């Protein structure tokens, strides 16, 4: 037996469940600007997408993930044609002939595409079929990198089940390609941080580590945005391409990074407030979310959205509130959910049967 078979076979020679997990993320500064070649500060957080991949004998890929669709399935024999169709649709998007929302018919197809990529490039992860069971405590479509974490977790499980000891950067680049089917022209920041973990300054596919600062991150869930990440990014790019506003975003990112290194809370809050002003300027912060942040600022705090935001409706996804105490009363008044997370130094991991980490190398 080859060494790379050890991760998918037990001592009895049979294939067993493969378990992996990948963390979500927060962009502390530089959302949207990162798509235009400017840096972003991004941290992995201690919320995860977890995959259990189980071999089956029915020739079908089953997916169990309630936020997408419970008990979705596709015959493995149909995966090559499905991938070709998805690739054609994405090519039409790049030519301006198809909106990004219509590249895939349903989010679960991201996972079919993921299995198809591994099957065609490396051989089937489970030649006779498999069941992919996903669990996640990341809100979908709200700026916490849930889609990327799901892709990374499933991709990692498929590669390992196929006996491929893929390096972290290989998993990242594969996940980035898959993410494009949903987000159009993403920066790659979401899959990068989900694979690698930690806190980094990310720019054009490369990252520089930033010293992790112990902190509790208060997050306010203002609701799932009406516009998708891909639609929002494309709309902003159309209206603000080659504009000096991205230089202003870059200055704010570097200011926040310097303030964090020096644990200068006052300077951090000033940078976050300026980041919020810039996001309002490019039109991705709904008016109700602006009202909430205005009241937080009146109490001496600072806040900003942490994802793409929205170009329609009143929900803006996740908001990072930089304050001394959790803004519980204000969240109750606005009927927003409040949570706290912490930075996660680890990225994608393979888990053993007991759920403990075995690392990603």
- The third-level CATH classification (topology) of the domain covering 217-341 is Alpha-Beta Plaits (3.30.70)
Q: Virtual CA dihedral for 99, 280, 144, 132, nearest 10 degrees?
A: -10
CA atoms of 317 and 340, how far apart (whole Å): 15
Do 3-209+346-351 and 217-341 show the same overall fold? no
- Taking the domain 3-209+346-351, which CATH number applies? 3.30.230.10
Tens-digit pLDDT string for the chain (361 aa): 223 343 344 444 456 789 999 999 999 999 999 989 999 999 999 999 999 999 998 999 999 988 776 678 999 999 999 999 999 999 999 999 999 889 999 989 999 999 999 987 766 666 678 999 999 999 888 889 999 999 999 999 999 888 888 889 999 999 999 999 988 888 889 999 999 999 999 999 899 999 866 777 899 999 999 988 888 888 998 899 878 999 999 999 999 999 998 889 999 999 999 999 999 999 999 999 999 999 999 999 999 999 889 999 999 999 999 998 999 999 999 999 999 999 999 999 998 644 455 555 4
What 3-state DSSP class applies to 251? helix
Q: What is the pTM of this model?
A: 0.86
Q: What is the per-residue pLDDT for 67?
A: 77
CA atoms of 84 and 65, how far apart (whole Å): 24
Instruction: Identify whether the C-beta of residue 61 lies closer than 8 Å to the C-beta of residue 130.
Output: yes
CA atoms of 191 and 347, how far apart (whole Å): 10
Q: What is the per-residue pLDDT for 7?
A: 37
Q: What is the per-residue pLDDT for 231?
A: 86
Instruction: Identify whether the C-beta of residue 351 lies closer than 8 Å to the C-beta of residue 51.
Output: no
Q: What is the DSSP string of 105-157?
A: SSTTHHHHHHHHHHHHHH--SSTT-EEEEEEE-SPTTSSS-HHHHHHHHHHHH
What 3-state DSSP class applies to 294? helix
Q: In the chain, where are the structural domains located?
A: 3-209+346-351, 217-341
Q: What is the per-residue pLDDT for 14?
A: 53
Q: What is the per-residue pLDDT for 126?
A: 62
């Amino acid at each position: 037996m080859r060494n790379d078979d050890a991760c998918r076979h037990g001592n009895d020679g049979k294939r067993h469940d493969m378990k992996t997990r990948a963390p979500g993320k927060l962009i502390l500064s530089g959302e949207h600007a990162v798509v235009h070649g400017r840096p972003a500060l991004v941290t992995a957080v201690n919320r995860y997408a977890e995959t259990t991949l189980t071999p089956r004998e029915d020739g079908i890929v089953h997916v169990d993930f309630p936020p997408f669709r419970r008990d979705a399935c596709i015959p493995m024999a149909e995966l090559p044609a499905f991938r070709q169709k998805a690739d054609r649709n994405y090519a039409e998007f790049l030519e301006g002939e198809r909106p990004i929302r219509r590249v895939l018919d349903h989010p679960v197809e991201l996972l079919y595409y993921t299995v198809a990529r591994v099957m065609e490039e490396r051989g089937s992860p489970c030649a006779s079929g498999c069941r992919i069971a996903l669990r996640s405590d990341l809100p979908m479509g709200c700026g916490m990198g849930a889609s990327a974490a799901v892709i990374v977790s499933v991709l990692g499980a498929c590669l390992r089940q196929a006996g491929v000891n893929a390096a972290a950067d290989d998993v990242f680049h594969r996940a980035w390609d898959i993410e494009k089917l949903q987000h159009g022209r993403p920066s790659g920041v979401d899959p990068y941080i989900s694979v690698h973990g930690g806190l980094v300054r990310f720019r054009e596919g490369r990252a520089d580590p930033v010293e992790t600062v112990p902190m509790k991150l208060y997050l306010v869930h203002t609701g799932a945005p009406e516009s998708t990440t891909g639609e929002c990014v494309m709309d902003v790019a159309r209206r603000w391409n080659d504009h000096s506003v991205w230089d202003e975003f870059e200055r704010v990112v570097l200011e926040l990074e310097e303030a964090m290194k020096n644990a200068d809370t006052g300077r951090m809050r000033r940078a976050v407030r300026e980041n919020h002003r810039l996001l309002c300027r490019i039109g991705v912060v709904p008016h109700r979310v602006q009202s909430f942040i205005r009241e937080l600022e009146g109490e001496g705090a600072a806040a900003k959205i942490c994802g793409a935001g929205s170009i329609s409706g009143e929900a803006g996804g996740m908001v990072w509130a930089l304050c001394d105490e959790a803004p519980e009363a204000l969240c109750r008044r606005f009927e927003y959910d409040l949570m706290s997370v912490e930075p996660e130094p680890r990225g994608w991991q393979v888990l053993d049967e007991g759920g403990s980490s075995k690392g990603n190398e």
